Amino acid sequence: MLKISTKSQYGLRAMAYLASKKKVCSIKKISQEEGIPFDYLEKIVSKLEKAGLLKSRKGVQGGYLLTRPASRIKAGEIVSVLEERTNLVKCLGGACSRSRKCLTRGFWLKIQKALDNALNSMSLADLMK
Residue 60 lies in a domain: yes
**pLDDT at res. 38:** 97
Distance of alpha carbon 128 from alpha carbon 96, whole angstroms: 40
**pLDDT at res. 117:** 94
Residue 1 lies in a domain: no
Q: Please list the ranges in the chain whose pLDDT falls under 70.
A: 1-2, 85-86, 94-95, 99
**pLDDT at res. 1:** 57
**pLDDT at res. 99:** 66
- CATH number, domain containing residue 104: 1.10.10.10
Residue 54 lies in a domain: yes
Residue 12 lies in a domain: yes
Task: State the residue range of the domain holding 53.
Answer: 6-128
Residue 92 lies in a domain: yes
> In total, how many domains does the chain have?
1
